[in-house]
Amino acid sequence: MGTQKRTQEDISKEFNVFSANYTEDMIKCVPYYITLLNAFSQDYPSGFSPQRILDLGCGNGNVTDQLVSVFPTAEYTLLDASEDMLKLCEERFKGFNISFVKSYFKDFSFSENNFDLIVAGFSLHHCEAVEKQLLFKNIYKSLVSGGVLAMSDLMINKNHQLHELVKTNWKQLVLSNYPDDEKWQWIMEHYAEFDRPDDLNDQIVWLETAGFKVHQTLKKEDYWVHLKVKKSKL
Ligand SMILES: C[S@@+](CC[C@H](N)C(=O)[O-])C[C@H]1O[C@@H](n2cnc3c(N)ncnc32)[C@H](O)[C@@H]1O
């Protein structure tokens, strides 16, 4: 696709296909997936009890599944560009207080002071740097004072000098599960077309520029990171 802009339809189509065997694929193909998923149910500020939660790029609901175990009575909004992913979530979370939004991040209207917790699991790396910066500002605006943003993702820019090493380690995991190389080739095609990871340090600067205090938990395995940041009380 080169420099052509990816559209909502592209992401949606890609993840509609991906949704078929999603969790198994993620565990077998994404380094530290389970560790960085589990991090969503851990290490919140003491007494933190969110009432309203937004899951950005919910996929089949693996992050929300972590959250309902610790915040079962919260009101959830699950947002994704893929209708098939959203359908899986509708099936999975019957009985919880959940609404579903099919939207591209950039088209979602983030209302002010609305959410106590916003989460993003392996979804923001699909955004270009400029879109991430705008998103961080919108997320900040949309959190209440004392609210938390929690995110897990690959956080290394493709131009970083250690990026090739990250790929080498990543490939080892994939080949250990799918030895014939076909899966790795598919992942690299998806990675070239849809993935735009950025360095952790750049993202910290953008988060601070948006207003966040970055003093929260950081789990870092290689360049696979879980980060929590807080909108400080005034
Ligand atoms: C790799 S999956 C992660 C799913 C889930 N959060 C998890 O941790 O397993 C990324 C999800 O984000 C969605 N997504 C990616 N970019 C998006 C965008 N710009 N707007 C809305 N959804 C997006 C995809 O459709 C996909 O379901």
| Mean pLDDT on 208-233 | 86
Of 122, 123, 150, 147, the residue nearest 52 (C-alpha): 147
Distances (CA, A) of 216 to 21, 134, 231: 33, 21, 11
Rounded CA gap, 24 and 21, in Å? Answer: 6
pLDDT digits (tens, 9 = 90+) for 35-58: 999 999 999 989 999 999 999 999
Q: What pLDDT does residue 21 have?
A: 84
For residue 80, the CA-to-ligand 1 centroid distance in Å is 6
Pocket test for ligand 1, best of 9, 11, 40 (most atoms within 8 A of CB): 11
Count of all residues that appear for the chain in the document? 234
Of 31, 18, 37, 123, the residue nearest 80 (C-alpha): 123
CA-nearest residue, atom 5 of ligand 1? 59
Per-residue exposure over 83-104, b if at least 16 CB sit within 10 Å of its own CB, e if not? ebbbebbeebbeebebebbeeb
State whether the Cα torsion 125-17-163-128 is positive or negative: negative
DSSP string of 113-182? T-EEEEEEES-GGGS-HHHHHHHHHHHHHHEEEEEEEEEEEE---TTSTTHHHHHHHHHHHHHHHSTTSH
Query: How do beta strands 143-154 and 115-121 pair?
Result: parallel
Q: Which of helix, strand or coil describes residue 213?
A: strand
Pocket test for ligand 1, best of 123, 131, 191 (most atoms within 8 A of CB): 123
Q: Which pLDDT band, with edges at 50, 70 and 90, does 220 fall under?
A: confident
pLDDT digits (tens, 9 = 90+) for 73-118: 999 999 999 999 999 999 999 989 999 999 999 999 999 999 999 9
Residue keyed to tokens 């993702």: 153
Six-digit token string for 113 = 């002071």
For residue 234, the CA-to-ligand 1 centroid distance in Å is 32
Of 73, 80, 72, the residue nearest 54 (C-alpha): 80
Pocket test for ligand 1, best of 12, 22, 126 (most atoms within 8 A of CB): 126
Of 15-24, 137-146, 183-192, 200-209, the poorest mean pLDDT is in 15-24
CATH of region 8-230, choose from 3.40.50.150, 1.20.140.90, 3.90.660.10, 2.60.40.10 = 3.40.50.150
List the domain boundaries for the chain: 8-230
Q: Specify whether the CB–CB gap between 109 and 138 falls below 8 A.
A: no
How big is the chain by its Cα radius of gyration, in Å?
Answer: 17
pLDDT digits (tens, 9 = 90+) for 114-137: 999 999 999 999 999 999 999 999
Q: What pLDDT does residue 10 have?
A: 76
Give the predicted TM-score (pTM) of the model. 0.94
Ligand 1 within 6 A of 63 CB?
yes
Ligand 1 within 6 A of 126 CB?
yes
pLDDT digits (tens, 9 = 90+) for 159-173: 999 999 999 999 999
Q: What pLDDT does residue 8 have?
A: 57
For residue 58, the CA-to-ligand 1 centroid distance in Å is 6
Ligand 1 within 6 A of 58 CB?
yes
Residue keyed to tokens 């955004």: 127
Six-digit token string for 126 = 């699909």
Decide if pLDDT at 16 tops 90: no
Q: What pLDDT does residue 1 have?
A: 37
Decide if pLDDT at 17 tops 80: no
